[in-house]
Chains A and B, each alone.
Chain A
Amino acid sequence: MWNDHELTKMVEGGVPFHMASDQAGNLGRAYGVWDESQGIELRGRFIIDPDGVIQAMEVMTPPVGRKLSETIRQIQAFQHVRASKGSEAMPAGWEPGGLTLKPGPDLVGNVWKVWKPSMEK
């Protein structure tokens, strides 16, 4: 009903992904986002990698919405880490194409030489 009455007005053809139901809160409890007192889900968002491992999570109280572009940025960063087999790390504010760090003894105490807060967009 929500899809017919509202979501199709935002996205042509309606929502392209599954909208799962968890009225009893079983999933929400497993993910730590079920609010027992109100019987609702909090705004939880989880990024799960191809191995089924949670790489990132964000949980917010209901009044504030999420930012999809930030989620996509995080997925791109984790994909980059995965492609480098963990040899590279993405510093704060990293965007695709940006500087990556190679953690190791040489970098300890020397991050300031290669990364500055002003580099964050």
Chain B
Amino acid sequence: MAEQPQGCARTTGAVMGEKPSAPAAAESETKKEMTMTARVGQKAPDFEAPAYYKGGFKSVKLSDYLGKWVMVCFYPGDFTFV
């Protein structure tokens, strides 16, 4: 993967792919109920995000890892313990 130039913008990721289908009746409900929520037994929301990897910044995409077991960890901030 080619190294990506990093500007001054916030480095952040984006969710990809279609959202899980919501029942038609729920579509007029609050926005909160329409956001994607991860659940066991369901497809993990795909994403692509800039990532630090071995000395450089590369893009990492979850769906590139289909066929492998993946652990995704979120943590509050750098310099905290994990």
Contact = CB atoms under 8 A, between A and B. Distances in A.
Interface SS of chain A: mixed
B12 interface: yes
B44 A21 contact: no
Interface string B47-66: 10111111100101011011
Contacts of B73: 43-46, 66
B42 A53 contact: yes
Contacts of A19: 51-53
B46 interface: yes
B19 to A, nearest CB: 9
A48 interface: yes
A22 interface: yes
Interface residues of A, number: 48
Contacts of A116: none
Contacts of A75: 69, 71
Contact of B43 (A28, A53, A57): A53
A24 B12 contact: yes
A50 to B, nearest CB: 5
Contacts of B40: 54-57
Interface of A: 1-3, 6, 14, 16-33, 40-57, 62, 65-66, 71, 75, 78-79
